[in-house]
Amino acid sequence: MHVIDIEMVEMTLDVVKYAINRITQTNPELGKPKTEAELRSLVGETVTNRGIGGERAFELFRDVLVKATVPIDHPRHLAFVPAAPTRAAILFDLVTSASSIHGAYWMEGAGGIFCENEAMAWLVSLTGMPAPAFGVFTSGGTAANLSALVAARETWRKDPRNKNVKGLMITSVGAHSSIKAMAKVIDVDLLLVDTEDEMTESALQATINALGPERARVFAVVATGGTTNAGIIDDLSGVARVCERENLWFHVDAAYGGGALAAKSVRHLFQGIERADSVTIDPHKWLFSPYDCGAVIYKNPELAKEAHAQEGSYLEIFKDEGAHGFNPSDYQIQLTRRLRGLPLWYSLATHGTEKYEWAVEEGIKLAQTAGKLITAHPLLELVRPPSLSCVLYRRKGWTPEDYRNWTYANHEAGFALVAPTKWKTANGTETVSRFCFINPDTTEEDIIAVLKSME
């Protein structure tokens, strides 16, 4: 398996040819899923005692299996939170794999960790968090949120009165599902401020004031810097004031919206993020990195280190003076880690931060353009004004089934992937359509064509 022979050379050529071809496509085929049984009948057994050979396995992937996936960078993939990694970042993902670097400790990964830290310093500068704020790259927003919340909980537990107490966190209905899921992982309760709109200082304060004896269990507040559903940014300055008054850890989940910190047109909306104890930003969402790349930043990295640094006789050498340096494993939940910040670093180094500002502004402009086109269309209506790069709108007269059938029909035709979502109303929820723009290659014509398909 580790021998270099002619088969290995041929496999290399196949893989590199495929990669070049895929990276240079601007309008990749919009694949769609097949059932597992269908895929099985198309490819047969792939893992066998003797192996099926690299050439055959690659053929199956290239000709069958990858076609049953949706390219997240398709310009008309406007569902969920899409992505559009730069070509420089994708190429460097290949280099990251080829370089086989262990990214946990400086002793083994110094040169690579140096690059990650260059990119991280830029992310930190976008937040405006003062020194010594710093962070690490994680596998995504969920892992970043988890790492931050563990640091918050462990800091709170330093007080002996909290030793055997089950913690309670406060967030809003608009927070991402990962906050609810990670509350389960760390076995704390979660209280929701009842709004999918902006969480305000007064609503948060009122929620805390109404708690009674439960107040003693509250250790953190999670605000959102760009909700997944609608791009809404909580009143971060107001939440910061409450957290400072109440002595609570202030976490900002800007996994999706964090990229917009680079955009001058909306930067003011994030006022207050610089006062956070921790911030999540996902470069694999709006900072054009390939999957997977999240980031968590701490106001006081020492608190994260106290919560996360692992100990073991086999790890002692990494803490030795001779191996001195920044150890990413000390600041998040993972030990062995890929240097997943490297593609971002290379792309930033290649293009410069101004290009990033431009590309993020493009997503915001596309949302504004979509808003205008929707307003001018007799059959369509905005549910709320576009926020960051998210647009919620309704097709007058449509039922939830109409939205679902329309999504499937467009996907089936290989034309677009735009999915419905729900928006809270006075009497429950309404099914509506949603755009999320990330890819600067999406055009006004793409939006017009998608809207036309609703007529």
Ligand X SMILES: Cc1ncc(COP(=O)(O)O)c(C=O)c1O
Number of residues that bind ligand X (CB under 6 A): 13
Residue from 75, 82, 112, 140 touching ligand X (CB under 6 A): that is 140
- Which residues inside 407-446 make contact with ligand X, applying CB under 6 A? none
For 402-410, which contacts have Cβ atoms below 8 Å and span 24 or more sequence positions? Answer: 403/431, 403/432, 403/433, 406/453, 406/454, 407/79, 409/453, 410/450, 410/453
Determine, following the binding rule CB under 6 A, whether residue 174 of this chain makes contact with ligand X: no
Contact call for residue 142 and ligand X (CB under 6 A): yes
Out of 86, 96, 228, 389, the residue judged to bind ligand X by CB under 6 A: 228
Based on the shown chain and the rule CB under 6 A, indicate whether residue 129 belongs to the binding site for ligand X: no
Binding of residue 272 to ligand X (CB under 6 A): no
Alpha carbons 303 and 43: distance in angstroms, whole number:
50
Identity of the residue, 256 or 435, whose beta carbon is nearer to ligand X in the bound complex: 256
Which span sits near ligand X by CB under 6 A: 83-91, 135-143, 206-214, 271-279? 135-143
Q: Which is nearer to ligand X, 207 or 280 (CB)?
A: 280
Three-state DSSP at 309 gives coil
Contact predicate 410/70, CB 8 Å: no
Q: Does 82 bind ligand X (CB under 6 A)?
A: no
- Examine residue 255 and tell whether it contacts ligand X (CB under 6 A): yes
For ligand X, the binding residue among 234, 253, 361, 362 (CB under 6 A) is: 253
- Residue found by looking up tokens 């905005």 in the block: 382
Nearer to ligand X, 117 or 142 (CB): 142
Asked if 141 touches ligand X (CB under 6 A), the answer is yes
* Least distance to ligand X, CB of residue 142, Å: 3
Tokens 């280190």 — which residue?
Answer: 305
Our CB check for ligand X shows the closer of 294 and 343 to be 294
* Residues 421, 429: Cα–Cα separation, whole Å: 10
CB of 250 to ligand X, least distance (A): 16
Per residue, the 3-state secondary structure of 161-230, as one string, reads HHCCCCCEEEEECCCCHHHHHHHHHCCCEEEEECCCCCCCHHHHHHHHHCCHHHHHHEEEEEEEECCCCC
Q: Which stretch binds ligand X (CB under 6 A): 8-16, 104-112, 138-146, 416-424?
A: 138-146
Taking CB under 6 A as the rule, does residue 340 contact ligand X?
no
Whether the upstream peptide bond of residue 132 has omega within 30° of 0, thus cis, is: yes
Report the C-alpha gap between 219 and 71 in whole angstroms: 40
Interaction between residue 138 and ligand X (CB under 6 A): no
Find the distance separating the first CA and the last CA of the chain, reported in whole Å.
56
Residue 256 engages ligand X in binding (rule: CB under 6 A): yes
Beta strands in 118-167 (DSSP E): 134-138
Residue of 77, 153, 176, 275 that binds ligand X (CB under 6 A): 176
282 counts as binding ligand X under rule CB under 6 A: yes
Q: Which stretch binds ligand X (CB under 6 A): 109-117, 129-137, 252-260, 269-277?
A: 252-260
Rounded to an integer, what is the distance from CA 205 to the centroid of its chain?
Answer: 29
Q: List b or e across 230-268, with b for residues whose CB sees 16 or more CB atoms inside 10 angstroms.
A: bbbbbbbebbbbbbeebebbbbbbbbbbbbbbbbeebee
Neighbours of 318 (CB within 10 A): 20
Please list, in sequence order, all residues whose beta carbon lies within 8 angstroms of the beta carbon of residue 25, skipping any fewer than 6 positions away: none
Q: Is 290 in the site for ligand X (CB under 6 A)?
A: no
**Environment class of residue 62 by beta-carbon count within 10 Å: exposed (0-12), middle (13-18) or buried (19+)?**
middle
User: Does residue number 283 form part of the binding site for ligand X (CB under 6 A)?
Assistant: no
Q: Is 294 an interacting residue with respect to ligand X (CB under 6 A)?
A: yes
Question: How far is residue 404's CA from residue 422's CA, in Å, rounded to a whole number?
Answer: 12
* Contact status: 259 vs ligand X (CB under 6 A): no
Q: Given the rule CB under 6 A, which of 235-243, 253-261, 270-278, 345-353 is the region that contacts ligand X?
A: 253-261
Stretch that binds ligand X, among 27-35, 89-97, 134-142, 353-361 (CB under 6 A): 134-142
147 vs 228, which CB is nearer to ligand X?
228
Residue 391 and residue 435 in contact, taking contact as beta carbons nearer than 8 Å? yes
Alpha helices in 271-389 (DSSP H): 283-286, 301-308, 342-351, 353-376
Nearer Cβ to ligand X, position 146 or 373? 146
Q: How far is the CB of 332 from ligand X (least distance, A)?
A: 13
Residue 286 binds ligand X, judged by CB under 6 A:
no
CB closer to ligand X, 86 vs 178: 178
The full length of the chain comes to 455
Q: Which residues bind ligand X (CB under 6 A)?
A: 81, 140-142, 176, 178, 224, 228, 253, 255-256, 282, 294
